[in-house]
Structure 1
Amino acid sequence: RIGSATSLSSAVINSRLQELVRLFKERTEKVKEKLIDSDVTSDDESPVASPAAAPVPAPGGEVERDKPSGDDHYCEMLCCTFKYRPWLDRLKSYQFPSSIDPLTNLMYVLWLFFVVMAWNWNCWLIPVRWAFPYQTPANMHYWLLVDYLCDLIYLLDILIFQTRLQFVQGGDIITDKKAMKENYLRSQRFKMDVLCLLPLDFFYFKVGVNPLLRLPRCLKYMAFFEFNIRLEAILTKAYIYRVIRTTAYLLYSLHVNSCLYYWASAYEGLGSTTWVYDGEGNSYIRCYYWAVKTLITIGGLPDPKTLFEIVFQLLNYFTGVFAFSVMIGQMRDVVGAATAGQTYYRSCMDSTIKYMNFYKIPRTVQNRVKTWYEYTWHSQGMLDESELLVQLPDKMRLDIAIDVNYNIVSRVPLFQGCDRQMIFDMLKRLRSVVYLPNDYVCKKGEIGREMYIIQAGQVQVLGGPDSKSVLVTLKAGSVFGEISLLAAGGGNRRTANVVAHGFANLFILEKKDLNEILVHYPESQKLLRKKAKKMLKSNNKPEDEKGGPGDPLILAPKADTPKLFKAALAATGRTGGKGPLGRLRWRLKELKAMQE
């Protein structure tokens, strides 16, 4: 009985020790994966929330009820349901920034819009009020109200915004209030801003309300050009705004010329000759029509009679030729810049077609090449994405690659748990390729040197006796060919045909690129090889698809234990596991556990 009790306790202790060894091994593997990839989530259970304390009875003996949901409850945390603060309270609590980044701050772009609107008011309406009889004593207060509102916008721009603009000095971004203010006071823009606000309005008391006294307000042209630069930087189709701006230049030149023509007509006397404006109809529309005919030099105008009219007409003709040549040149540049990509695409296609015709390429191949050009251009807006990013610094290229490709690559089971920096290095090596319908991505028996990630479209895996049966259809986000990247001996052979089902955009990672990256990440290399081995085992390929004797394997298969040796070990196990065979059996168990 004592021996049986001892053997029973030994068995319990032995099983407990084996359980502890197993737990320690699992814990070691988890810690190892955590060290390799810090983003691996822990398997520890989350702490259980403590039960809520019971509500304390009120002095009257009743339990205090929850407050109705309609009560005002402003909470900045996400732990409870809360009502948004009224916009007026949020406006009161808003703090104006101490420094403004002029390159990225959209609020500053919006403010520049209001400044430019005030500038346009002065540029367009000062000539009209000076030449045409639209400013009268009856509506004088309306004109002055808008004038001084524009002056207020100018003043706020000087005092609040321009003195808070960040600037770069010696490679550093300066955000100090005093330094930003001194930088603005030393700039050329400050001098122009002061000139445009010269208080010439005091002369109204002596000469009357003359709009020409507000002509210095047009000197705030720097805000207009800065607004153009900032707006074009945030627009997706900036060329549309450039066309509108060039058209506005043309309309403004015609606007000024129409004002000058009415002034010349008034100077000569309305209707005094056949050349001047006769005073009938809408004065601005009639004078604008005359300005258009003069600047475009289309003819059909009455001949000038006096010397003043002749000189004025000659100046108009010369100005029209110069102005329209400049406008046409600007419009050509704008349209050329907008269609530069399309022009490059057409030139590439024309050169390719010329090459194929010279070598008498079959018509079917030519049609497929043309289709590839058309789809590639319309799907991604360029023929080669690398040409767009080649001028960017390496860090910016990495940031763009992370935003575009990281979500796809991070879902690949083979790369989960690897070093994050290794994934970032790999993203920069991905190459985008477009496949046409029924194009072979890879064929059975080929040496695999690439991994494919489906960005858009579908591919079909073909198999069967005739290699035409659809085994599976892979959609966007799927990965295939990843084990080929880790096989030793030059790559393993493809086991099936993969064909594009429709148009397919794929990311390709070549084996040589991955090998260059893994040199710097030995731990990730070990993890990848281990995962590749498990994936090969889980695939459970048939014998005829495992490849010939020359096919490379990640790890050579181990020979099975002889059956007679297994029977001897089993016999020793039934006798209590004592003796040399029993110890050998225990040693084999330990080796097997370590390999798993």
Structure 2
Amino acid sequence: MASDREQDAEIALAMATSTNKFARLVRMMMLIKRWTTGQNQQETEERLDDRNMLMFKFFETVAGTKNLSIIGNHQEESMSWFNKIWHLSINETNNFYYRWSAIVMLSCIYNLVLIPVMIFAEFRQSYYKPWLVANAITDVVNLFDILIQSKREFMEDGVCITEPKAMLVKYFKSRDFILDLLSVTPSDLVMLIFPNLAFVRLNRLLKIHRIFDFMERTEIRTNFPHLFRLLRLIVVCFVIFHWNACVYFLLSILYGYQDSEMEDWVFSYEKILDPLLPKCNNRLYAGTCLFDEDGLDAHERHTYVDELLDFWEPKKYVREFSNLTKKYSLSFYWSSLTLVNLGEQPSPTQLSQMLFEIVDTLLGLVIFAIIVGDIGNMVTSMNLARSTFEEKKDGCKRYMRFRKVNQVLERKVVEWFEYTWTRGQAKVDESKIVEYLPSRLHGQMSVQIHMDTIRKVRLFQDCEAGLLYELVLRLHLQIFSPGDYICRKGDVGKDCEAGLLYELVLRLHLQIFSPGDYICRKGDVGKEMYIIKRGCLEVVSPDGLKVFATLNEGAVFGELSILNIPGNKNGNRRTASIRAVGYSDLYVLTKDDLWDAIREFPDAKKSLIDKGKEILRKDNLLKESDDEAELSDMEIEGIPIEERLSKIRKNLYKLEETINKYASSFHGGNAEMKRRITQLEQRYKTRKHSIQGLYSNMNIDF
């Protein structure tokens, strides 16, 4: 038995400390060990029953933590769940916390609205028990919210803190914890002695800070911020009017409203009578539902009022409303008139009534100023983009009049402004959004918007993801007007690395062209590649009279001119003139952006140039006889300074190697020559006399 307990302890330790695949591996090894020693497998099944596994998965889903093991006996299992809850952490930016905040917000609004309503006796008599049940539910929500808040992650020096003790200390030291703790104080126990003393629940209103927290998060998340602010303003005004109405009726109770009259300041039933409604329809039964006033003067009706009353007595009925409806509606009406400073109410007769009126007047002035200010801010925010756009357009029109621009061009500029506004281009400043977003988010957004477009270019298909990323960041928008000329010559090849495509997509930017604008003309030096995002372009003759082709959305042109392909017979010149038919949006990739992107992708660069050569070779536009020196010069043209310096540095290294090679050869030859001369001198010295005798016989002097 002791051995069995030791084995159980080993299994429990392994299952409690292991996680993920390693935990499952250790657990399986322990089970195999017990099976080989003849242990009953049913014990293991009892440890991992379905109920515990479901609860385990639930906590794992909510907390987002790693897998924890569930061990055998009940005590160890309880410890495991305690540890699981202890290590639970909640990210305040996820949907779970937002939805929970919505529940807490509803609980706070319930207390904010229902606590003062208990001043009405009819409400207490009719809804007292349901009110107690609802109070218990909201109190449970507040208690759970304390647990949720103690498990809320927080940022410290840019690092998300999920350590349980740190989260608890952070929450316990905060002001929110004190308010939350006071809000759940069981003040309801006083109602066991005084059932009608509902205001003992005022401490629940300390939870109101959670309403503001939810509103801030909703304002960030919603797609209709102006509508949300308007609804928030309406709710705030309603709550203020509601509380003021309840306080007014409380004063009416203190001063006694049962015997009050129409002219009294307090509530009076005479001020809100039940309406009298006719039983018959005047349109269908005009003969029986209309009093015959023929021969009578309508201006003298007071002389036959009794006859009118007798006539309508059997033809009317009273629409009776409950006392609660009358009390609350009249109190709310009085509150709204007073807070908006409309007056038209009976004058107060007591000091406390006067003080209450003064406070209401001051509060009404503040509320009125807040309402006017908030609505003004909302209107200003809603019209800010339009006002800024109109200011720019008016400034441009004044500038054109000052410079005496002809009417045709002025009308074209105004039409361009109208087009950009109607298409939504003027409402969103892409450059400011890009500057505000982090580079990573900007890259992800650019890839989602432009990746499909950039992959349509045959040259960039299957490029490296890194290069595509850089290209997307450099894309910018160009809008071409109808009749604008762009240009296009050939397509680019396939099988480009994905990293290069990723870099290229990030470098695209938008340009807008007006109708009739020339994007490029034949013979111009090509410095950009164009992708048609929206609009229609025409390939025309140099004089613009003949149309050769039409380019629609998704077409790409100008890619070969920015590659500096060696041997291109056209060089980097445009081979056709391109004109915009209507307003056209074009994404542009410049030569500098392309070379900057492919700088880190030498293999992709070589692949692009080879594919460009294949395209030119098919059109018989490639010179195959160009030597290597000429190719190098064409490659250097137009590329960034850093790339040129790198090429110069490589050439210097090669030149240095060549010089060192020739210097070494020279020194070796020089040493060999000296050695031979030395040998010759030595031989001459040893054979000097014989040589002199030989040459003396030949009559030669030395």
TM value normalised by structure 2 = 0.60
Superposed, which structure 2 residues align to 1:27-176 within 5 Å?
94-95=58-59, 96-98=61-63, 99=88, 102-130=91-119, 132-159=120-147, 161-176=148-163
1:277 to 2:277 alignment: no
Offset of residue 229 of structure 1: 2.0
Amino acid at match of 2:357: Q
Offset of residue 138 of structure 1: 4.1
Offset of residue 295 of structure 1: 1.4
Q: Partner of 1:431 in structure 2?
A: 476
Q: Deviations over 1:412-432 (max 9, x none)?
A: 111234432122112111111
2:610 corresponds, among 505, 522, 530, to 530
Q: Deviations over 1:318-375 (max 9, x none)?
A: 1111221123223323333343323322222222122222223223322322232233
1:221 to 2:265 alignment: no
Q: Partner of 1:334 in structure 2?
A: 378
Q: 1:284 to 1:412 in 2, by over 3 A?
A: same
1:414 corresponds, among 459, 470, 482, to 459
Q: Deviations over 1:251-287 (max 9, x none)?
A: 2222222222222222222225432221235222222
Offset of residue 553 of structure 1: 11
Q: 1:323 to 1:330 in 2, by over 3 A?
A: same
Query: Is contact 1:116-1:223 (8 Å) kept?
Result: yes
Offset of residue 302 of structure 1: 2.6
Amino acid at match of 2:186: P
* More displaced 10-residue stretch of structure 1: 263-272 or 481-490: 481-490
Query: Is contact 1:433-1:507 (8 Å) kept?
Result: yes
2-structure distance, mates of 1:467, 1:494: 18
Amino acid at match of 1:352: C
Please state whether the residue corresponding to 2:335 is helix, strand or coil.
helix
Q: Partner of 1:199 in structure 2?
A: 186
Offset of residue 203 of structure 1: 0.5
Amino acid at match of 2:151: R
Offset of residue 97 of structure 1: 2.1
Higher normalized contact order (CA 8 Å, seq sep 6+, divided by chain length): 1
Higher helix share: 2
Offset of residue 466 of structure 1: 5.5
* More displaced 10-residue stretch of structure 1: 188-197 or 330-339: 330-339
Offset of residue 315 of structure 1: 1.8
When Rg is computed on C-alpha atoms for both structures, the one with the higher figure is: 2
Q: Partner of 2:450 in structure 1?
A: 405
1:300 to 2:344 alignment: yes
Q: Partner of 2:676 in structure 1?
A: none
Q: 1:311 to 1:488 in 2, by over 3 A?
A: same
Query: Is contact 1:373-1:383 (8 Å) kept?
Result: no
Q: Deviations over 1:394-423 (max 9, x none)?
A: 333222222221221133111234432122
Query: Is contact 1:453-1:480 (8 Å) kept?
Result: yes
Q: 1:302 to 1:354 in 2, by over 3 A?
A: farther
Offset of residue 248 of structure 1: 1.6
TM value normalised by structure 1 = 0.71
Amino acid at match of 2:436: Q
Superposed, which structure 2 residues align to 1:280-429 within 5 Å?
280-281=272-273, 282-377=326-421, 378-380=423-425, 382=427, 384-429=429-474
Q: 1:391 to 1:139 in 2, by over 3 A?
A: closer
Offset of residue 122 of structure 1: 0.5
2-structure distance, mates of 1:463, 1:386: 36
Offset of residue 91 of structure 1: 9.6
Q: Deviations over 1:78-103 (max 9, x none)?
A: xxxxxxxxxxx999954442255545
Amino acid at match of 2:460: F
* More displaced 10-residue stretch of structure 1: 380-389 or 288-297: 380-389
Q: Deviations over 1:57-93 (max 9, x none)?
A: xxxxxxxxxxxxxxxxxxxxxxxxxxxxxxxx99995
1:258 corresponds, among 242, 245, 257, to 245
Q: 1:491 to 1:306 in 2, by over 3 A?
A: farther
Offset of residue 289 of structure 1: 1.7
1:454 corresponds, among 532, 550, 574, to 532
Query: Is contact 2:538-2:547 (8 Å) kept?
Result: no
Amino acid at match of 2:442: R
1-structure distance, mates of 2:460, 2:582: 28
Offset of residue 162 of structure 1: 1.7
Q: Partner of 1:505 in structure 2?
A: 585
Amino acid at match of 2:108: W
Please state whether the residue corresponding to 2:582 is helix, strand or coil.
strand
Query: Is contact 1:533-1:554 (8 Å) kept?
Result: no
1-structure distance, mates of 2:400, 2:579: 25
Offset of residue 540 of structure 1: 5.2
Please state whether the residue corresponding to 2:62 is helix, strand or coil.
coil
Q: 1:436 to 1:103 in 2, by over 3 A?
A: farther
Amino acid at match of 2:129: H
Q: 1:466 to 1:493 in 2, by over 3 A?
A: same
Amino acid at match of 1:359: R
Query: Is contact 1:432-1:508 (8 Å) kept?
Result: yes
Q: Deviations over 1:465-512 (max 9, x none)?
A: 85532413332x321111111126996222223233433221111112
Structure 1 unaligned regions, length at least 5: 1-88, 544-551, 556-596
Please state whether the residue corresponding to 2:265 is helix, strand or coil.
coil
Q: Partner of 2:556 in structure 1?
A: 479
Query: Is contact 1:484-1:492 (8 Å) kept?
Result: yes
Q: Deviations over 1:12-38 (max 9, x none)?
A: xxxxxxxxxxxxxxxxxxxxxxxxxxx
Amino acid at match of 2:552: L
Q: CA RMSD in A?
A: 2.9
